Structure 1
Amino acid sequence: MADKLEPIDSVDSLKEHIAVMRKAQAEFATFSQEQVDKIFYQAALAANKARIPLAKLAVEETGMGLVEDKVIKNHFAAEYIYNAYRHTKTCGVIEEDKAGGMKKIVEPLGIITAVIPTTNPTSTAIFKSLICLKTRNAIIISPHPRARKCTIEAARIVRDAAEKAGLPKHIIDWVPSPTIDLTNELMHSADCILATGGPGMVTAAYSSGKPALGVGPGNNPAIIDDTADINVAVNSIIHSKIFDYGMICATENNVIVLDKVYDRVKEEFIRRGCYFLEGDDKEKVGHTVIVSGSVNAKVVGKPAATIAKMAGVTVPANTKVLLAEVESVDPSEPWAHEKLCPILGMYRARDFEDALAKAERLIHDGGYGHTSSIFIDTRETKKLDEYENRMKTCRILINTPSSQGGIGDLYNFRLTPSLTLGCGSWGGNSFSGNLTIDKLLNIKLVAERRENMLWLRTPEKIYFKKGCMPTALDELGTVMHKKRAFIVTDKFLYESGFTRRIEDKLDQMGIVHSSFWNISPDPKLQDAEKGLEQLNAFKPDVVIAIGGGSAMDAGKIMWFMYENPDEDFSDMSMDFMDIRKRIYRFPKMGKKAYFVAIPTSSGTGSEVTPFAIITDVETGIKWPVTDYQLMPNMAIVDTDNMMTQPKGLTSASGVDVLTHCLEAYVSMYQSDFTDSFALEGMKLVFKYLPRAYDDGTDVEARDHMANASTLGGLAFANAFLGLNHSMAHKLGAFHHIPHGLANAAILTRVMRYNAAEKPTRMGTFPQYSYPHTKARYAQAARFCGVTGKDDDEVFENFLAKITKLFDYVGVKHTIAEYGVDEKYFLDTLDDMTEQAFDDQCTGTNPRYPLMSEIKNLYLDAYYGRPASAYEAE
């Protein structure tokens, strides 16, 4: 088999590639499930790592969509698709019922031709390549002419990683410059066609004489019933409609509102930054978007204000969605069509029957078989039954933003994730529902919105109160019968004799011990690697990390590498959208050693969290590593260990605690359980931090600040954090501002940003039904004793209270005041911004940030510019 082939530039060269691919695929078809799964895993990892550069390349080349949203699509295409199929058997016997006499054996189809659209050029290439790898098929990709570079780059990244993992060469290939002749030959030569694109391309695929899996157009009519939660309905539709500027085919294209709530719905759209067109403006935009019965390619994936300008209409620059009130559902009405941009027609329905009739007509004339959605009180079972029976669509979404909901596994976890959405026989397609690796039937799916389960995870044991350490350590000998203890700390604590109390107790119990004390204040991966050598030589059965967050975090990393020497740190530090769906899975900890965390400062809460922050000095990247396997087994919070904190550390660690509590309280993962920790923690900070700062020997103040730190840790260990920490991590990595002070320098600005009434976007997870972060902050403020006539006033008074506390404990107000050079700050700003956007903490922020917004927050915090309301721009 030829290792190298000439590029495909003619029908003859294409035939040569196909012949070589057939031989390679025949070899691939003999691979075991273990071999296939290894290839699938490495390919998904590689695609996930490249999500941001691929998103940038797609927007740069096509001029469509938004980088930040394409990052989500790429992340979804790698992580969620991998998670959906990582345990699925696709080789040999996949099911056997001996009693019933049934066996299922699977074999690959052969060579798959994949037509990739310009709307989702990288995510679809990732998705189709991965499912072909999982099923042992070869794939040859035909990119859209306006998205060749980014599509080919996505395929190349997947191919190279797969081949490195053992995939035979020539399994993934592409046509660099598709022509009509080459496309016809592709369809003729393949064993199956995955056609995603315009109607002409899909029709050609079905007419090729080969099996084809193509998709029809969508024209989702979203009904808002008079029993619906208006906030949830309107904000879900906006959240969906502005996602990548409306290019997902499942998105709502028209909204049908029952008469009783019509005016309230319209008011909510306007309040949230949408704009209703009237008169000639409505006609101008309608005929700009729809030309000769089809969507104008020039408007696809463009912002609302840009489209208005193209039509010669002036609207506010920050307009999220353009709407028009329309009556006709006839195809002659431009607003009744699929639009692929943030444009929405709005119909008034006399009653539920009228709404159903309008929805049926809109589907029939442009979205048959695709997607329909409804917002309704789910106790209205008769209405729902009627709706489900009459909608001829393969996805019926209830109380769900349909762009994100239709692709599956985000707002309903039984709806299979996919970036190819079939319309069944209703839409002239050969399959229905979301394309899976084995679905070829017409199936009607009803997906009702669900919030994923949350959790409360803590160490097995938490000891607290002044003087508790000897009693807690006693368990290592009397209960657990440990023999060898390894202490991880920093040089100052070791040389000052700070660890002597632990060593004396271990000696008393006859536990042999050794220590590693070269942990830097900002812990480095290289420190942990040096400590690991000593750890491996000593072979302890208990690891004790004592110090600030640096020692405990480094200890966690050393513990992990000691227990799992073959694991790759770059894999364990991989970001995830959802900790339950991450590609990399942490192995079970505790096989070799029990882990004890003992804090000596009241700040990080690391003693009770699954987080470890560590910096790779070779790359300069500060990694927040997260998994519940890193949760300490025992936490010992003894105030005796914290009585010598200097003023600077008391201040920095104290404001860090407040940030932990505030971010956990408004996180996308907050719950009643985490709220209790967060509220009590921040209340203790306001009451006792000034006392601890004034008098370090104040035992009561130190005791309560120690508790506040641990309470904050318990809160964000389960609710996670947000954008404030993402940005602070980068200030520490690039400019070495102590973590607590970095948090404080930007806290009130991030709070204003999160509390904006018209945010650009909500976070992706469905825990927040609609923007209400200001109300959450106001609840926290009232718990801490702040008053006011309404939420707005309480919020402003809360910010003033925080600022007063920061002034009292000597916290500076700007980044510049910490001695950060202006030129270096501006030189690193873009890198900081992108890394903060990609930081693990960003995903659970209540407001999904654009990189431009993060950049402005950094600039505001550096120059001390007056804080604005940070409304959508």
Structure 2
Amino acid sequence: MTPQHTEPSDRPSERPAERPAPKPADRTAEAVAAVVANALRALREYDGFTQEKVDRIVRKAALAALAAHVRLAALAVEETGRGVLEDQAAENRFACERVARGMAGVRTVGVVRRDELDGIVEIADPVGVVAALTPAAGPTATVLFQALIALKTRNPVVFSFHPGAPRCSAEAARTVRDAAVAAGAPASCVQWVEPASAAAGALTRHPDVALVLATGDPAAVRAAYGCGKPALGAEPGNVPAYLERSADLARAVNDVVLSRAFDHGLAPAAEQTVILDAAVHERALAGFRALGGHLVDAGEKALLERYLFGDPHGPGDDPGGVNPAAVGRSAAEVAAAAGFEVPAGTTVLLAEVAGVGDGEPLTRVKPCPVLAVLRAASRSRALRWAAELVELGGGGAAVVHTEDEAFAEEFGLAVRAGRVVWNAPGAQGAAGGRYNALPPALGPGGGCSGPAAVRADRLLNLRRLARRDGGTRRFAAPPAILFERGAVRALAELPGARRIVLVTDRAAVEQGRLERVREVLDRRADPVAVRVVDTVEPEPSVETVERGAELMRAFAPDTVIALGGRAPMDAAKAMWLLYAHPEAEFADPGGTLGAGLTGGGRARLVCVPTASGTGGEVAPFAEVTDPESGRRYPLADPALTPDLAVVDPALTADRPGPAVAEAAFAALARCVEAWISVDANDFTDGLARQGALLVVEHLPAALADGPDGRAARDRLHHAGTIAGLALGSASLGAVHALAHTLAPALHLPYGRVCALLLPPVVRHAGAAPARVTGRAGYPVYVAPERLAALARTLALPAGTPEQGVESLAGAVEELRERAGLPRSLKLAGVEESAFLEALPRYALGALEDRCAPGSPRRLLLADLERLLRRAYYGDRA
């Protein structure tokens, strides 16, 4: 073959051509391609997963997120400089607790529905790789929610975080991913791309991405819908709230403030404009002022408009966008930046406007606690305004407050919002799960499927009108309570008890109480086999509980008897739970995430208290501790309710006076907090009131010797059980949230800590609150009036709520002094510098405690630190 001739070249032949360096865009595309390839591999790995395995993965991931919910909120607020730590912690908890509970039992693997009549079988498959674009507002809650729903549906998810919140978002994703992978999920089930801003476009356009989720930022939502793929988007809407003349006005105003002030206005479904029926206009404005609202005057309104939206006639201003410096700032901060001052505790800024649209810029979306106010002369005018507001800024949600059911439906038909919230706060009601029966969701929720998209009902936009609904309540109590002196003798007649495990501690052994119970059991007509666990620590450990459960599984008892104070009863409940449900985990706070526990089943639980005040013999609560990590596992589930309580005051006869007083104050604190709890109800109110009355009337006499002292101690023992019945169905609050942290940390008796905390907490709850706790069954803040009513029950002066609150707090202090208990932690011997150094940690522990959400006044870290200082130095210091 003749070689071809080539003309000489002027390029050096010995030097290879240099390849150009990759451009940043090329590197981003390569990184995205690698991440998506990993996600495809995870998708293939999901193929063999069963529903049980998927549910276990979701459960483990949700529990890990729940354990980190406050830490993640702190990271988010620190990084973004926006919002309220406590509110973002609540949203994180909602995202991993309520959402996981709502998904429990939902089938997402294989055959999910079978209709034998029509011969239809529905089979679920993952959509594919999901790209998720997340916001800077509420970033960690969004990531937790989207990661969990992706795990539940076996869809690998790749996040592109908002450039304003990349670190906290990544930590939230890492928390879920690590727990999921440890539970058996594919290694690439949850991923994210960096840098987020440059990679978002490449990610959403990648051919192997099947679905895009976009939340929060309007530009990101528009880009998601324009990327040529199926997309689900949710952006902040221009949410109107109409307070119609028949509304429960106090509740409606409370709901609006609760929603608009939440997280400094960052909640996407929070009300942006409130429309007041002319008949209630003035009363509503007075209600807003009473709850910390500030109605701006004409000059302040002009300053506010200019600060938030600029001068629409000035050069270079963007009349369409809100000033980013105002986003997620408090009402006082927004006012100061605008050029006027309001009190530091102001909840919302209200500005009266004449109409909707460009002439009234405050009727636009504004993610800060500013609320436009319209006065509607008629229902028809209100409906037109509400519809215009939704059209002006997106149709995510709308709110109506009315007692007229027909008009609520008329509102839902006229206002084209996806979720119409009826008689509930917008931010909480539109999210579902708390105030109504809407499924819990943050941002886009739901899914898609191929064939189902080609169906008539898929061509409809379904909108939902959701009525306020507190859900079904349960009064938890043992089937039987035996009481009075000598009640322990009933154990000799306990039917069907042939194999008994007795759980107690060394104190009960040394004081002869264990021997006394064994003597009763020896009287039974039929012999019984008994095993004793007497190694329960003052703070029951996971190891002790697991050993006890192992013994039960080997011995197979038909009856478990808990004998002692709080610790043996908590340990016995936990052992009993593990015996009946070996799959249960202490990391799950008692079925919070949908464990579906149904009770002991294999054995009955009998609780015999030897100390007054705990109430554990009748309450569905327990707590165990991991000594190595120091982590406490609070358990709360109806499944933990004992089958029988034996309340025998004779078992407490030899307790010293200080122990009697401390137990009494623990019971009193439970009664007071159950009485003012957001979950208080008709069934618990009588118990709380009677329990408090028994303590106040009989504690002084119980500290004396002789027959009168013995009779009084008997009544105090009953008061402790009554308090337990009250707390079992009405949550507690700040006293117990703080005491759960302080008592073990300071090595002080629990009741003594309660005695120190109760007066400052009473005064705190009795003052006008800056923030209130939201509950469907707690329409308005009534703690001052409730405390005054309790004071009157105790024959204390209570002509006004303020007088009643102070009378009650003073009576507790006087009772504490008569009982010989110290009036401050300082006088109790707690070293000052060490306490003040640990104070922020104690406050954080209380915020994370299961009792904190029950406080009627929303507990903020600053409030908790203030209460701790008052407990240390004395309430009046």
- TM value normalised by structure 2: 0.91
Structure 1 position 17 matched with structure 2 position 44: no
Q: For residue 431 of structure 2, what is the aligned residue in structure 1?
A: 407
Q: Does the CA contact (< 8 Å) of 1:241 and 1:252 recur in 2? A: yes
**Displacement of 1:246 after TM fit?**
1.1
Q: For residue 347 of structure 2, what is the aligned residue in structure 1?
A: 320
Q: For residue 374 of structure 1, what is the aligned residue in structure 2?
A: 400
For residues 430 and 24 of structure 1, the distance between their equivalents in structure 2, rounded to whole angstroms, comes to 20
For residues 761 and 309 of structure 1, the distance between their equivalents in structure 2, rounded to whole angstroms, comes to 21
Structure 1 position 205 matched with structure 2 position 224: yes
Structure 1 position 417 matched with structure 2 position 443: no
**Displacement of 1:127 after TM fit?**
1.4
Structure 1 position 545 matched with structure 2 position 524: no
Q: Does the CA contact (< 8 Å) of 1:724 and 1:747 recur in 2? A: yes
**Displacement of 1:636 after TM fit?**
0.9
Residue 192 of structure 1 aligns to a residue whose secondary structure is strand
Q: How does 1:278-289 map to 2 (within 5 A)?
A: 278-289=297-308
For residues 614 and 804 of structure 2, the distance between their equivalents in structure 1, rounded to whole angstroms, comes to 28
Distance 1:567 1:107, change over 3 A: closer
Q: How does 1:175-324 map to 2 (within 5 A)?
A: 175-180=193-198, 183-189=201-207, 190-291=209-310, 292-324=319-351
Q: For residue 356 of structure 2, what is the aligned residue in structure 1?
A: 329
Structure 1 position 489 matched with structure 2 position 504: yes
Q: Does the CA contact (< 8 Å) of 1:404 and 1:411 recur in 2? A: yes
Q: For residue 348 of structure 1, what is the aligned residue in structure 2?
A: 375
**Displacement of 1:182 after TM fit?**
5.1
Cα shift readout 1:241-293 (whole Å, capped 9, x = no counterpart):
11111112211001111112111111111111111111222111122112422
For residues 439 and 744 of structure 1, the distance between their equivalents in structure 2, rounded to whole angstroms, comes to 60
**Displacement of 1:165 after TM fit?**
1.8
Cα shift readout 1:149-200 (whole Å, capped 9, x = no counterpart):
1111111221222222222222322112134465245334321111223332
Structure 1 position 462 matched with structure 2 position 462: no
Q: Does the CA contact (< 8 Å) of 2:421 and 2:466 recur in 1? A: yes
Distance 1:816 1:453, change over 3 A: same
Q: For residue 85 of structure 1, what is the aligned residue in structure 2?
A: 103
Structure 1 position 37 matched with structure 2 position 64: no
Q: For residue 654 of structure 2, what is the aligned residue in structure 1?
A: 644
Q: Which amino acid aligns with 1:250?
A: A
Q: For residue 674 of structure 2, what is the aligned residue in structure 1?
A: 664
Q: Does the CA contact (< 8 Å) of 1:14 and 1:182 recur in 2? A: no
Distance 1:633 1:80, change over 3 A: same
Q: For residue 799 of structure 1, what is the aligned residue in structure 2?
A: 809
**Displacement of 1:449 after TM fit?**
0.7
Structure 1 position 749 matched with structure 2 position 799: no
Residue 260 of structure 1 aligns to a residue whose secondary structure is coil
Q: Which amino acid aligns with 1:365?
A: L
Q: Does the CA contact (< 8 Å) of 2:213 and 2:444 recur in 1? A: no
For residues 271 and 499 of structure 1, the distance between their equivalents in structure 2, rounded to whole angstroms, comes to 57
Residue 335 of structure 2 aligns to a residue whose secondary structure is helix
User: Which is greater in Rg?
Assistant: 2
For residues 136 and 538 of structure 2, the distance between their equivalents in structure 1, rounded to whole angstroms, comes to 48
**Displacement of 1:408 after TM fit?**
1.0
**Displacement of 1:529 after TM fit?**
5.0
Q: Which amino acid aligns with 2:274?
A: V
For residues 100 and 658 of structure 1, the distance between their equivalents in structure 2, rounded to whole angstroms, comes to 60
Q: How does 1:598-677 map to 2 (within 5 A)?
A: 598-677=608-687
Q: Does the CA contact (< 8 Å) of 1:214 and 1:422 recur in 2? A: no
Q: For residue 517 of structure 2, what is the aligned residue in structure 1?
A: 502
Q: How does 1:710-789 map to 2 (within 5 A)?
A: 710-757=721-768, 759-789=769-799
For residues 551 and 124 of structure 2, the distance between their equivalents in structure 1, rounded to whole angstroms, comes to 50
Cα shift readout 1:72-130 (whole Å, capped 9, x = no counterpart):
11111111221222211222222222321222222222111111111121111111122
Cα shift readout 1:347-401 (whole Å, capped 9, x = no counterpart):
111122221222222222223x221111112xx2443333222111111111110
Q: Does the CA contact (< 8 Å) of 2:99 and 2:440 recur in 1? A: yes
User: Equivalent of 1:855, from 857, 865, 870?
Assistant: 865
Q: Does the CA contact (< 8 Å) of 2:291 and 2:770 recur in 1? A: no
Q: Does the CA contact (< 8 Å) of 2:127 and 2:449 recur in 1? A: no
Structure 1 position 149 matched with structure 2 position 167: yes
Q: For residue 409 of structure 2, what is the aligned residue in structure 1?
A: 385
Distance 1:126 1:440, change over 3 A: farther
Structure 1 window deviating more from structure 2 (302-311 vs 697-706): it is 697-706
**Displacement of 1:787 after TM fit?**
3.3
Q: Does the CA contact (< 8 Å) of 2:215 and 2:443 recur in 1? A: yes
Residue 132 of structure 2 aligns to a residue whose secondary structure is strand
Q: For residue 50 of structure 1, what is the aligned residue in structure 2?
A: 68
Residue 513 of structure 1 aligns to a residue whose secondary structure is strand
For residues 650 and 43 of structure 1, the distance between their equivalents in structure 2, rounded to whole angstroms, comes to 44
Residue 482 of structure 2 aligns to a residue whose secondary structure is strand
- TM value normalised by structure 1: 0.91
Q: Which amino acid aligns with 2:165?
A: A
Q: Does the CA contact (< 8 Å) of 2:502 and 2:532 recur in 1? A: yes
Cα shift readout 1:772-827 (whole Å, capped 9, x = no counterpart):
10111112121222233222222222222222211111121111111111122122
Distance 1:602 1:34, change over 3 A: closer
Structure 1 position 126 matched with structure 2 position 144: yes
Structure 1 window deviating more from structure 2 (161-170 vs 67-76): it is 161-170
Q: Does the CA contact (< 8 Å) of 2:193 and 2:199 recur in 1? A: no
Q: For residue 3 of structure 1, what is the aligned residue in structure 2?
A: none
For residues 621 and 163 of structure 1, the distance between their equivalents in structure 2, rounded to whole angstroms, comes to 22
For residues 86 and 707 of structure 2, the distance between their equivalents in structure 1, rounded to whole angstroms, comes to 49
For residues 343 and 286 of structure 2, the distance between their equivalents in structure 1, rounded to whole angstroms, comes to 17
Q: Does the CA contact (< 8 Å) of 2:204 and 2:224 recur in 1? A: no
Q: For residue 871 of structure 1, what is the aligned residue in structure 2?
A: none
For residues 183 and 537 of structure 2, the distance between their equivalents in structure 1, rounded to whole angstroms, comes to 36
Q: Does the CA contact (< 8 Å) of 2:763 and 2:806 recur in 1? A: no
**Displacement of 1:511 after TM fit?**
1.8
Residue 242 of structure 1 aligns to a residue whose secondary structure is helix
Distance 1:619 1:816, change over 3 A: farther
Structure 1 window deviating more from structure 2 (8-17 vs 459-468): it is 8-17
Structure 1 position 555 matched with structure 2 position 572: yes
Cα shift readout 1:699-721 (whole Å, capped 9, x = no counterpart):
42122222211111111111131
Distance 1:532 1:89, change over 3 A: closer
How much identity, in percent, do the aligned residues show? 36
Cα shift readout 1:634-680 (whole Å, capped 9, x = no counterpart):
11111221222211111111111111111111112111111111111
Q: Does the CA contact (< 8 Å) of 1:108 and 1:135 recur in 2? A: yes
User: Equivalent of 1:339, from 342, 363, 366?
Assistant: 366
Structure 1 gaps, min length 5: 1-5, 432-437, 868-873
Distance 1:9 1:728, change over 3 A: farther
Distance 1:718 1:644, change over 3 A: same
Structure 1 window deviating more from structure 2 (590-599 vs 401-410): it is 590-599
Distance 1:619 1:819, change over 3 A: farther
Cα shift readout 1:423-473 (whole Å, capped 9, x = no counterpart):
99xxxx999xxxxxx998511100011122222121122111112221x11
For residues 398 and 342 of structure 2, the distance between their equivalents in structure 1, rounded to whole angstroms, comes to 29
**Displacement of 1:487 after TM fit?**
2.5
Cα shift readout 1:718-738 (whole Å, capped 9, x = no counterpart):
113111111011111210110
Q: For residue 94 of structure 1, what is the aligned residue in structure 2?
A: 112
For residues 792 and 665 of structure 1, the distance between their equivalents in structure 2, rounded to whole angstroms, comes to 17
Q: For residue 870 of structure 1, what is the aligned residue in structure 2?
A: none
